A = this chain, B = another copy of it.
Amino acid sequence: MQQLTHKITIKTNGRRLYDITPQVMSWAANSGLHTGLLTLYIQHTSASLLINENYDPDVLVDMDTFFERIVPDGDAMFIHTAEGRDDMPAHIRSALTQTSISIPFIDGKVALGTWQGIFLYEHRFAAHTRNVLLHLIAE
């Protein structure tokens, strides 16, 4: 059994879903290992991880439309407002989605379903640099 760790750094330029599937898949495939478990972990609380449909880009638009409706930016109920009208909503959106995701690694391949992609979900309006840690334990 072996372990590998890696850090992916993504420069975001505004609120939306960023497809990181190719970087994750190719790093795991290049490990030379065969069977195990891949874990992704994002080191932030205003950006998150999401497995989502990777086919119709309208799905990504609708996902964000939904979150804008249930977590309105600048809502009067929020008292944590010093970092901007999108900051507290970003923490809530992160709580409602994922900070870590684990995916089996089978036959040298991350075992995503046919229509699944791995996305970093930036919830802030401004540009940010985001770190996603990858951990692979496999043989």
Residues of A at under 8 Å CB distance from B?
A: 1, 3, 5, 35-37, 39, 41-46, 50-53, 56, 58-59, 61-63, 65-66, 69-71, 77-80, 82, 88, 91-92, 94-104, 106, 111-116, 131, 133, 135, 137, 139
Q: Which residue of B lies closest to A77 (CB)?
A: B65
- What CA separation (Å) do A6 and B87 show in the bound complex? 35
With contact pairs A35-B5, A53-B91, A113-B131 given, residues A79 and B98 touching in the complex (Cβ less than 8 Å): no
| Pairs A–B under 8 Å by Cβ, sample size 21 | A1-B3, A5-B106, A36-B135, A37-B137, A41-B102, A41-B111, A43-B113, A44-B113, A45-B53, A45-B113, A52-B94, A53-B91, A56-B80, A58-B79, A62-B88, A62-B92, A63-B95, A66-B92, A98-B99, A100-B101, A113-B131
